[in-house]
Structure 1
Amino acid sequence: MLNTSNNNTRKMIVIHGGHFSSLAGFYEEISSVMMKNADWKVGTLDGFDDILYGGFGVFENKEEIEIIWKESQKSKENLGFNATREFYENKIRQGKPFNIELIQQKLNDLLEGKGQTLFDILMEIIESHTNITLTLE
């Protein structure tokens, strides 16, 4: 594992794409590597975003982190078009408390080839945290 950073204080977290093939599996993987001693698990996109702020998992608030996502191409496929369509369709079927109009629009965008996949959404969430460096392998 190469750490190309000169900053040796950066904490490294490894996500193994080989360990999961669904969003639920991703949450399990994230919970096991980032929430080792916490008494709750990640189960939503918002929850994933929340733990990236730090302070209640394996790293502190604003701590410099490097996430290495192994087998990211497999994850990109697993969390691609089909998984995303299913994700939105399930929310629409559930109805409240979800904003059905917004979700339907996101589904329509996806079907038209201009929407984000779950993988894209996860990338965007990670990249929104300036203290986190992401390396896809």
Structure 2
Amino acid sequence: MENKRKFHIDGEKIRDLDGFFREVARHLFPDIPDRDYNFDGLDDMLGGGFGTPENGCVLFWDNHHLSRACLGYEETVRVLERRLNRSHLSARNEIMKQIRTAKRHDGPTIFDEIIEIFERHKPVDDNSYSVELRLR
């Protein structure tokens, strides 16, 4: 970790999913124009080639407990409803099922999905472009 760049995002600045994307982009991808970020885009950017340091980095998520609350079931329902409005007809039944599950406070939250994406990019052996997430 000593030769890897270190970045900090602050959970106090993250109130919703868009705020999370803005905070991460501000630190990890400052040269990418502000746009409508999404999970697929985050996954691609963490994979490298978009500004992620070639030898990997460590991202400290300070006050993550505040973000966990803001990115919980209420935000999950909001994001899923927005996704439903943009989705193809073939995906709507699955999204509606996810909305019902989130409204019951069951299943993964937006926070959980973010953690899962970062888990896919954690360092493995000599993996350049890896991003190690540390919750603090």
TM-score (norm 1): 0.82
Flag structure 2 segments of 5+ consecutive residues without an equivalent.
124-130
State the distance in 1 between where 2:115 and 2:81 align: 21
Asked if 2 retains the 8 angstrom alpha-carbon contact of 1:42 and 1:48, the reply is no
TM-score (norm 2): 0.83
Asked if 2 retains the 8 angstrom alpha-carbon contact of 1:10 and 1:64, the reply is yes
Name whichever of 105-114 and 69-78 sits farther off. Answer: 105-114
Indicate the residue corresponding to 1:22 in structure 2: 16
State the distance in 2 between where 1:79 and 1:35 align: 21
Aligned length: 129
Asked if 1 retains the 8 angstrom alpha-carbon contact of 2:75 and 2:110, the reply is yes
1:49-93 CA-to-partner distances (Å, cap 9, x unmatched) read: 111112221412xx3321100110010000001000111122223
Letter matched to residue 23 of structure 1: L
Asked if 2 retains the 8 angstrom alpha-carbon contact of 1:107 and 1:115, the reply is no
Indicate the residue corresponding to 2:114 in structure 1: 122
Indicate the residue corresponding to 1:92 in structure 2: 84
State the distance in 1 between where 2:40 and 2:98 align: 17
CA RMSD of aligned residues (A): 2.0
Distance 1:65 1:99, change over 3 A: same
Identity between Structure 1 and Structure 2 (%): 26
State the distance in 2 between where 1:73 and 1:65 align: 22
* Greater relative contact order, per chain length (Cα 8 Å cut-off, separation 6+): 2
Name whichever of 67-76 and 40-49 sits farther off. Answer: 40-49
